[in-house]
Structure 1
Amino acid sequence: MTLKPVNYYETFISSIDTKICLSIYKQDKNKPVVVFLPGTMVSPLFYDEFLLKIAENGFNVVGVHFVSHGKSPKDKKVFSFEDMKQNVKDAITYVLTNFNNQTILMGSSQGGILAIAVAGEDNRIKAVFPHNILLPSLPESIEITRFPHILKYSYKSVVNFIKWNGKIFPGLQLPMTFYLSLNRVTESRKIKEDIYKDDSILKTYPLYFLSSLFGADMTKITDGSIKCPVVVIASIKDPLFSFSYTKKVYELIKAPEKEMVVFDEPYHLIFNECIENILDPIVEKLKEVKFD
């Protein structure tokens, strides 16, 4: 089968009273579409090499620049986890209108959390591929942050404190390093330099967003609301999301079908730092999705 060269372009759509940018890697209008959700503070372009290779393997890819992220207008200084979920749903609507209904949702890190959350609310997708999953209600979730792990024993109080401050100081801008260790995200000096030099990558989040993330109701991923297959992507040696934590969340997911694709890589950013090792198995699983 001969595939067309990938055509990259960008477009803007309306979402939550503003515009957001979509990165389009177009293979063929009739091919399946992977809607890709990036991680904390970055845009789909941070994963450009990986997304291009997915497209070269016979998929259209639509990367979402969340509200005020990447190439989306920076006109909203305060936004929430719910706003980002709506961005995803609006991107899916764009795909259904301009491509087809063979829609797969994939995300990495924070994008993986959003992907599994949206899968519990939007039955238009045919499969979800989250790289990293999280249940904010689990006290062990504190271990992903840089906060002292002992706080898991008073986790409810910590979450309530964050939510309370998010209401009082919603626009307070906090750097990623306030709650995540950059060294656990990546040890690559080049990637760290790129993060600080790239103006399209956000350097802070409003406290309101962090409070909405920690307080997000994600019970729909455990109550049977997900109606499509779930393929969780994980790495045994991920320094940010421990494999034991990922397995705990995975066991709680209720879906018609679920499985894990597990890699033995010492990276959190597996879509950036070891593409050659993870691409083929992921593409193989994408090609197994049924669109009946």
Structure 2
Amino acid sequence: MVMIKKIILAVVLIVVVFHVTWYAASRMMMNKKIPDNVAVQTAFDNLVKKEKIDFDRKSLTETFIEANGIRLHLDVFSAGRNAPTVVFIPGTAVYAKFYIEFLYKMSLQGFNVVGFDPRGHGLSSGPRGDYTINEIVDDTLAVVKYARERFGGKVAVAGSSQGGMVAFYAAARDNSIAAAVCHNLADLNGKDNLVLSQIRPPLFMVPLAEFMAGLYKGYSIPIALYLDLTREKSKSGTDAASLLKNDPIAVKWITFRALGSLMHTDLAQPVEKITVPVMLIHAGNDSIFPQKYVENIFNRLTCKKKYLLLKNTEHLIMTNNVDEVVPPIAAWLKEVM
């Protein structure tokens, strides 16, 4: 009996130490400070050089806005008052400047372009990697409001990967958005969307997984456990995992609160009821978003819509295939805006 008590005590002690250590590591990653301007600029210059990105630096301005208790960082290319505007949402772990070539070349098409770093990402405030889809939608709509006030004219939203999902969710919530360009989209219903993550509980365990995500909402895990980014290559041939590892402002860990949101977040209205025009962009060899999955959602849309499928391309088309995606996006936006 004494031995059993000792074993139980040892197990409890191990569990407690594990949780305390894990929580401490999680808080350390969430509270990681944003690097100083020199480090940020150096990292960006290295990215531009490594990926051989050419753009007019003088045309880029940066600013911050306060929204929803968060200080959001914005990268802005201005085409002028009353020109149509595109608000851009980046993907998981990264920030607007990661897509600088896309932002710049969209501006050359006559659009004001406002890319922003979501809360907990890039140069925006908030615990690193801690967010929900609806919170990023809140921030997106705050940037849309900023764009309307600064530039006038119509405002569309666009996003890549997780950002494409957010653009889709914004379109479902706000009918005043002129259009939504979604490189990838999702209906996070806690069922079909489980194919998007390496963490795939059986359907009957989804309620338990959601409960556990809420219970452990203050804990984080490395993004590598959620997404396999080693398979995604940049223009230079560098895998995305290495790019993020060497980037001082990229998010490295993601909270269970965020993962719970990505597992199940209801759209503001059913897919069939969305009225905002939607353009879906998909890479034929995307290893994260299955083609059948995104097409099934696209086919449910009853709004004005457009589908651009780029065969023989991979997930990072918004950085790797900019010259292929910008002209059709710009043409469609000019048509619907």
Whether these two folds match at TM > 0.5 is yes
Residues 1:210 and 2:259 are matched in the alignment: yes
Residues 1:275 and 2:322 are matched in the alignment: yes
> Aligned partner of 1:124: which letter?
S
Pick aligned residue for 1:49 from 89, 97, 101: 101
Maintained 8 Å contact 1:6/1:56: no
Residues 1:61 and 2:108 are matched in the alignment: no
Pairwise CA distance, 1:59: 0.8
Pairwise CA distance, 1:75: 5.0
The 3 A distance-change label for structure 1 pair 283 and 140 is same
> Aligned partner of 2:89: which letter?
L
Matched residue of 2:329: which SS? helix
The 3 A distance-change label for structure 1 pair 163 and 186 is farther
State the match for 1:199 in structure 2: 248
Moved more, 268-277 or 83-92: 268-277
State the match for 1:11 in structure 2: 63
State the match for 1:288 in structure 2: 335
> Aligned partner of 1:121: which letter?
R
Pairwise CA distance, 1:13: 1.1
Matched residue of 2:173: which SS? coil
What aligned pairs does 1:202-281 form with structure 2 within 5 A after superposition? 202-218=251-267, 220-224=269-273, 226-255=274-303, 257-281=304-328
Rounded to whole Å, the distance in 1 between the matches of 2:239 and 2:86 is: 28
Render the CA deviation track for 1:28-50: whole Å, top value 9, x for unaligned.
22211000010001101110111
Matched residue of 1:41: which SS? coil
Maintained 8 Å contact 1:40/1:111: yes
State the match for 2:41 in structure 1: none
Render the CA deviation track for 1:195-244: whole Å, top value 9, x for unaligned.
111111111111111102212002614241x2221111112222211111
Maintained 8 Å contact 1:236/1:243: yes
Maintained 8 Å contact 1:131/1:232: yes
Matched residue of 1:130: which SS? strand
Matched residue of 2:87: which SS? strand
Maintained 8 Å contact 1:39/1:110: yes
Matched residue of 2:125: which SS? coil
Pairwise CA distance, 1:20: 1.0
State the match for 2:85 in structure 1: 33
Pick aligned residue for 1:95 from 138, 141, 147: 147
The 3 A distance-change label for structure 1 pair 228 and 114 is same
> Aligned partner of 2:318: which letter?
F
Q: Which has the larger radius of gyration?
A: 2
Rounded to whole Å, the distance in 1 between the matches of 2:169 and 2:333 is: 19
> Aligned partner of 2:324: which letter?
N
Rounded to whole Å, the distance in 1 between the matches of 2:217 and 2:286 is: 31
What are the ranges of 5 or more consecutive residues in structure 1 without an aligned counterpart?
A: none
Residues 1:172 and 2:219 are matched in the alignment: yes
State the match for 2:169 in structure 1: 117
> Aligned partner of 1:230: which letter?
V
The 3 A distance-change label for structure 1 pair 6 and 31 is farther
The 3 A distance-change label for structure 1 pair 88 and 270 is same
State the match for 1:182 in structure 2: 229
Pairwise CA distance, 1:124: 2.1
Maintained 8 Å contact 1:239/1:266: no
Rounded to whole Å, the distance in 1 between the matches of 2:64 and 2:101 is: 22
Pairwise CA distance, 1:250: 0.9
> Aligned partner of 2:141: which letter?
K
The 3 A distance-change label for structure 1 pair 184 and 221 is farther
> Aligned partner of 2:76: which letter?
I
Q: Which has the higher helix share?
A: 2
After superposition, the CA RMSD in angstroms is 2.2
Rounded to whole Å, the distance in 2 between the matches of 1:77 and 1:182 is: 16
Pairwise CA distance, 1:161: 2.8
Pairwise CA distance, 1:279: 2.5
The 3 A distance-change label for structure 1 pair 46 and 147 is same
Alignment size in residue pairs: 280
Rounded to whole Å, the distance in 2 between the matches of 1:172 and 1:286 is: 40
Rounded to whole Å, the distance in 2 between the matches of 1:14 and 1:194 is: 29
Rounded to whole Å, the distance in 2 between the matches of 1:65 and 1:5 is: 18
Rounded to whole Å, the distance in 2 between the matches of 1:32 and 1:166 is: 40
Moved more, 191-200 or 5-14: 5-14
Rounded to whole Å, the distance in 2 between the matches of 1:215 and 1:74 is: 22
Normalised by the length of structure 1, the TM-score is: 0.88
The 3 A distance-change label for structure 1 pair 273 and 99 is same
Rounded to whole Å, the distance in 2 between the matches of 1:16 and 1:184 is: 35
> Aligned partner of 2:328: which letter?
P
